[in-house]
Chains A and B, each alone.
Chain A
Amino acid sequence: GESVGLHLPTLSVQEGDNSIINCAYSNSASDYFIWYKQESGKGPQFIIDIRSNMDKRQGQRVTVLLNKTVKHLSLQIAATQPGDSAVYFCAEITNYGQNFVFGPGTRLSVLP
């Protein structure tokens, strides 16, 4: 069935370094992907999205890359800051846009 997963459940990076969080998806028919950030005790918050007709999209300090050939999605955070510490989820939009399928999440810890 459909599934979205992450290669690394935890990631620790030094403050100021770049972070890369990976995600694999299995439904080749999916055409929309979103990265969410979830801080402790809060609901997920939208970071950035990308449609399948693109392979890269940039936001403020974040870049999402999409490789449809290998069904892989990544989130790059430049100059990681303590405030970036959170769990990051990728979401795959399926079922003609009516269903968000989330991966299990990657915890990002920023070391001083």
Chain B
Amino acid sequence: NAGVTQTPKFQVLKTGQSMTLQCAQDMNHNSMYWYRQDPGMGLRLIYYSASEGTTDKGEVPNGYNVSRLNKREFSLRLESAAPSQTSVYFCASSEQGWAEAFFGQGTRLTVV
């Protein structure tokens, strides 16, 4: 039982490049989330998906898009990376929005 799996673990991008961060959970959870974590800022919600087929913006959605591909997978896309998007990205899932969220190990992204 892997829980929440994120790929890649590390990535360096040049400004303007695009990439997709992948996330998959094997717990049959309905809700999935993407957060970014910056020093001194805690975790900030980028997008979430309450259930398969739905996505909603969180606190800091600008510059990102998401796809809830199926119940297991929730991807985060950066269309044109900027240095301000240098951060650690965490994917999480929960059975319902009000239940505990399980987190992946994170993706450390650097945009130069």
B side interface size, CB within 8 A: 27
Q: Judge whether B45 and A99 touch: CB under 8 Å.
A: yes
Interface string of A29-47 (1 = CB under 8 A from B): 0001010100001111110
- Interfacial residues of chain B within 56-112, with CB under 8 A of chain A in the complex: 56, 58-59, 90, 92, 96-98, 100-106
B31, B50, B59, B90: the one contacting A44 at CB < 8 Å is B90
B56 touches A103 (CB 8 A): no
Q: A44-B43, A44-B90, A102-B42 are known contacts; what are 10 more A-B pairs with Cβ within 8 Å?
A: A34-B100, A41-B106, A42-B106, A43-B90, A43-B105, A46-B101, A93-B97, A99-B48, A101-B59, A104-B40
CA distance A49 to B95 in the complex (A): 15
Cβ of A89 within 8 Å of any chain B Cβ, yes or no, is yes
Q: Which residues of B contact A93 (CB under 8 A)?
A: 97-98
Give residues in B with beta carbon < 8 Å to A.
4, 31, 33, 35, 40-45, 48, 50, 56, 58-59, 90, 92, 96-98, 100-106
Given the known interface contacts A43-B103, A46-B102, the answer about A96 and B97 at a Cβ–Cβ threshold of 8 Å is yes
Which residues of chain B come closer than 8 Å to A53, judged between CB atoms? none
Known contacts A93-B97, A99-B45; A42/B40 CB under 8 A: no
The distance from the CB of A88 to the nearest CB of chain B, in whole angstroms, is 11
Say yes or no for A97: interface residue by CB 8 A criterion.
Answer: yes
B44: A residues at CB distance < 8 A = 102
* CB contact under 8 A between A99 and B90, given known A43-B105, A89-B42: no
A97 to chain B: which residues have CB within 8 Å? 96-98
